[in-house]
Structure 1
């Protein structure tokens, strides 16, 4: 099921040997695939822009692995307890250690993440090197803006490396890839370097862009603020969030705002909108499926035939624990005390019930975001049909009863907003928001709790909940009635203190951003990964036969992935392994 091409280089292009010829001087031939200093077209404005576009293209890690992209559905969501690995025990079982916290330095998937992100770094550095000797049509303003985009992207790739591996080598455009790369150690914290790149981008990027998907000034402000949040620099982050909320605009100049309907964020027809801060772009039917979204091709219900999307492959099913989290109380508020995993609060499901046998969906109160986030039996699955349950699950005993629903295309979009030129229609035109405005509001709420105002934090959280409560955005049946008992309200009274406020905003991030690759990293930066994830294993594991066999989160080790052994062997005596591996 998996498409994986191994690449062992961190340079932009492979150093290819020239064709040997039996004549004098053949050793002086310029190798093909190398950026030539005498190639004037490469250093023209269009040539440098081409290098920059290739840097954007690496956001989806095409050619490495679905687990390696900027989406982080494996590390961010599966390791975060929002989803199970899914499918069955044998298919793509290299992902199972992400579920059970048993990663090894020899893992090919761990190495793929390292390679994919350093490939992005390498491409950004190629742009910056080219800007040192640009052609005559490259003006000073071009150098500043293109350089700012390259440094923004480099900072993104290093941000991914930092939060995935912690101590990693920082290689910039001044390093000679032929002689210097092997000597860069991973013994210096790179957060200051990431901050510097985002700061440069903030200072030099335009407020608007002419092309969708290109980073603007406000994307840099948001990402710098996010970088501060990971270091608990809450005052600095708050100051930036204040700017974004007051003045921030999308790349096209539209004021940031929450879209009216939650589902529009994940719909290929509407996913470039006022909520987009920075997104990985995808397009279908361009002549190559490579331009569509490659990250999601495994993450559709299994064996759907013509009555469901893609037909493959049953990965990434939402967890029991996540589905239960959408339970609300009589006041339309989440069960912040954790009781959603107990007794009748647990969401009724069809685990072990054949599709031909009768089943009635849960009738209790639930947050309406549940049915845009979790595909469950008896509830309309977009415009395909009501989810039939077990018939769409490859192995319920290993994966559970649910199907992913975010980032799934509609039946009415098949072959128009999906690319049918490859092995599956799952190559869609759905973008992935690396940062969206709801994420910004909830991070801003966190910062306010730590150094600002609990009331301002409550306001930001309530903005997100108010959008979710819009009845026009509910999942409905053919007759227009809500598909379930949707009950959601805002927090109408002040938080009792910081602890209560933290609990509320952290749970809101779980609900609002579920399945979007944030959860694991949030738990780590909050310092609660071990207790939360071990409690998750204790609840989820007994429901899924062997899926969580041997699972245990070890504090002080599992917050970060191991440095790939391949990279250590490639640079003996240079790279130090992470603690516990």
Structure 2
């Protein structure tokens, strides 16, 4: 496996590249239109949408790209945590080895690819905003303009949120860069200013996005997605009252609930369920098995031979995660797939695979593999924000605010997630009853870990809680406090900026 050592300047990736795709596909839960895709029947834009969709879809297409939600994402957000180990084979993936054991250098290819991918997405969002602002058609309804701006600003906010919590201070770019490299050479803004920018985008998006779309637009950003992400942005800044309020708006919207069984959320038929607030849409057909999909599942699939060659085998559950689950918690089996065990579909998994455990949340239906004629799961959506995540954010914020009423609300939210998890078996996962703030804090943190296992939140959680050094050093990782909370600014970007970009501490 090879990660390219990109030499592209972040200024260069701001150049607009519009991708228009045409493909017909059977419309069912296994075979649907993905974000960033048009077919011959609905181009230039589907009925009920607007003239900016072809540009918005350019941003959605980047969202499912390799650099944004595939290997760099898995490496940055999961392999660095105590939930996961690198996986694959011992010598495979030099950049991943650096991330796993915190020997990260400024020349790490994954860190550079992650940077490039998100700035590419930001530029496409800025292009949408520019296109709306300069639209010469005086007859374009104002509602369509507001909707397009809101969608672009939501996607831009997501990209900046991933950048700021990964690198800290980053350049803030809110216009399309089409001029000289010198004009595109923008210095970093401090993290608080980046968060302020993100909040502004999400507040606008929440005010102007619809609560739902027609089924033909499944997966597009909604008001609930903007509010849910805003709650998380507030949480990362310890703005507890604002986080609780934003999460509560999602919880009282009537659009989401915990009715989807945990065992079903991650199956193909569980995509875009009542649990889903925002997920990257991917699709595949026998004639187009990869082009409209995502390689997210492939890079984590079982690494074996023959029919058990399901992927690259990266990002495998750790023994630390394995031990974090309470006795008989059904979420453990849904999160960890064991070599020598049995799959969700009754298949005997061979022993002696390169790793003893794999991410069971990306395991694919063998019938679907046969239908597509592809083993690598390019049709699987990527879950970026789930309802249970928002409920647990609400619980955390309420507990941090303190007081009897907020403690009651925190317990109710926390226990609602546990009720769903126990799947009707009242002998397991007993209700949390403590009203001691510190104890309840630890219970909520444990619940976030097991509920969101292998879903790319754990590293960022332990960093924002200030416990990353203790947790990761206890696992034998070479984590240095004050350094490894952030990635290095890619050295090639510093060089191309001629020193305008400044390196993070101790790299």
Give me the TM-score of the superposition, normalised by structure 2. 0.87
Rounded to whole Å, the distance in 2 between the matches of 1:7 and 1:466 is 50
Rounded to whole Å, the distance in 1 between the matches of 2:284 and 2:120 is 24
Q: Tell me, yes or no, if the aligned pair for 1:449 and 1:498 is still in contact at 8 Å.
A: yes
1:75 aligned onto 2:106: no
1:86-485 equivalent positions in 2, closer than 5 A: 86-136=87-137, 138-173=140-175, 177-178=179-180, 181-189=183-191, 190-210=194-214, 211-249=217-255, 256-285=256-285, 287=288, 289-306=290-307, 308=308, 310-328=309-327, 366-377=328-339, 379-390=341-352, 393-394=353-354, 399=355, 401-416=356-371, 419-420=372-373, 425-452=375-402, 453-470=406-423
Rounded to whole Å, the distance in 1 between the matches of 2:233 and 2:279 is 17
Structure 2: runs of 5 or more not aligned: 19-43
Change (3 A) 1:141 1:5: farther
Give 1:27's aligned residue.
none
1:51-78 CA-to-partner distances (Å, cap 9, x unmatched) read: 101101111233678333xxx3222221
Structure 1: runs of 5 or more not aligned: 16-40, 250-255, 329-365, 473-485, 538-550
Following TM superposition, by how much is the alpha carbon of 1:13 offset from its aligned partner in structure 2, in angstroms? 3.3
Rounded to whole Å, the distance in 2 between the matches of 1:46 and 1:497 is 52
1:165-197 CA-to-partner distances (Å, cap 9, x unmatched) read: 000000002655435643411143311001000
Rounded to whole Å, the distance in 1 between the matches of 2:345 and 2:195 is 45
1:53 aligned onto 2:57: yes
- What is the DSSP-based 3-state SS (H/G/I as helix, E as strand, rest coil) of the residue aligned with 1:278? strand
The number of aligned residues is 467
Rounded to whole Å, the distance in 1 between the matches of 2:339 and 2:271 is 26
Q: Tell me, yes or no, if the aligned pair for 2:66 and 2:294 is still in contact at 8 Å.
A: no
Rounded to whole Å, the distance in 2 between the matches of 1:110 and 1:229 is 25
Q: CA RMSD in A?
A: 2.4
Q: Tell me, yes or no, if the aligned pair for 2:209 and 2:222 is still in contact at 8 Å.
A: yes
Following TM superposition, by how much is the alpha carbon of 1:276 offset from its aligned partner in structure 2, in angstroms? 0.7
Rounded to whole Å, the distance in 1 between the matches of 2:271 and 2:7 is 32
Change (3 A) 1:51 1:503: same
1:286-336 CA-to-partner distances (Å, cap 9, x unmatched) read: 735121221221212222533x4x4333222211111111243xxxxxxxx
- What is the DSSP-based 3-state SS (H/G/I as helix, E as strand, rest coil) of the residue aligned with 1:129? helix
- What is the DSSP-based 3-state SS (H/G/I as helix, E as strand, rest coil) of the residue aligned with 2:277? strand
1:511 aligned onto 2:450: yes
Following TM superposition, by how much is the alpha carbon of 1:46 offset from its aligned partner in structure 2, in angstroms? 5.9
Asked which structure has the greater CA Rg, the reply is 1
Change (3 A) 1:86 1:384: same
- What is the DSSP-based 3-state SS (H/G/I as helix, E as strand, rest coil) of the residue aligned with 1:317? strand
Change (3 A) 1:292 1:2: farther
Following TM superposition, by how much is the alpha carbon of 1:223 offset from its aligned partner in structure 2, in angstroms? 0.9
Rounded to whole Å, the distance in 2 between the matches of 1:186 and 1:112 is 18
Q: Tell me, yes or no, if the aligned pair for 1:266 and 1:406 is still in contact at 8 Å.
A: yes
Q: Tell me, yes or no, if the aligned pair for 1:182 and 1:571 is still in contact at 8 Å.
A: no
Give 2:30's aligned residue.
none
Q: Tell me, yes or no, if the aligned pair for 2:161 and 2:198 is still in contact at 8 Å.
A: yes
1:556 aligned onto 2:496: no
1:499 aligned onto 2:438: yes
- Larger mean CA deviation between 406-415 and 502-511 belongs to 406-415
Change (3 A) 1:226 1:368: same
Rounded to whole Å, the distance in 1 between the matches of 2:207 and 2:260 is 32
Rounded to whole Å, the distance in 2 between the matches of 1:259 and 1:96 is 39
- What is the DSSP-based 3-state SS (H/G/I as helix, E as strand, rest coil) of the residue aligned with 1:269? helix
Give me the TM-score of the superposition, normalised by structure 1. 0.76
Rounded to whole Å, the distance in 2 between the matches of 1:283 and 1:522 is 30
Q: Tell me, yes or no, if the aligned pair for 2:334 and 2:361 is still in contact at 8 Å.
A: yes
